Structure 1
Amino acid sequence: MGGFDGGLPSQRPGQEEEPKTELPELYYFTHIVKQGDMVGIIAKEFGVSQDAIISLNKLRNTRTLQIGQILKIPSINGILYTAKKGDTPEKIADQYRISLEKVALANNIADNTIAPGAVLFLPDAKLDWVTIQEINGDLFRKPLRGRYYISSRYGWRNNPFSGKRTFHNGIDMATSQGTPIYAALDGQVIRTGYDVTYGNYVIVSHHSGYQTMYAHMHTILTTRGKHVTTGTRIGTVGNTGQSTGSHLHFTVYKNRSTINPSSLWN
Structure 2
Amino acid sequence: MRETSIHPTACVEPGAKLGQGVSVGAFCHVQAGAEIGDNSELMSHVVVTGFTTLGENAKVFPHAILGCEPQNGKHKGGHTKLLVGKNAMIREGVTMHRGSDTSRGYTNVGDNSTFLAYAHVAHDCDVGNHVTFANNVMIGGHCEIGDHAILGGGAAVHQFVRVGHHAFVGGMAAVVQDVIPFGMAIGVHAHLGGLNIIGMKRSGLERKEIHAVRRATRMLFDRTKPVKERVEDVRIEFADSPAVGDLIAFITADAKRSSFTTPLLHGKHGHIEDHS
- Pair in the same fold by TM > 0.5: no
Q: Please state which structure has a larger fraction of its residues in strand.
A: 1
Bucket of the pairwise TM-score, normalised by the shorter protein: under 0.3
Q: Which has the higher contact order (CA 8 A, sep 6+)?
A: 1
The structure that has the greater radius of gyration is 1
Q: TM-score with structure 2 length normalisation?
A: 0.24
Q: TM-score with structure 1 length normalisation?
A: 0.25
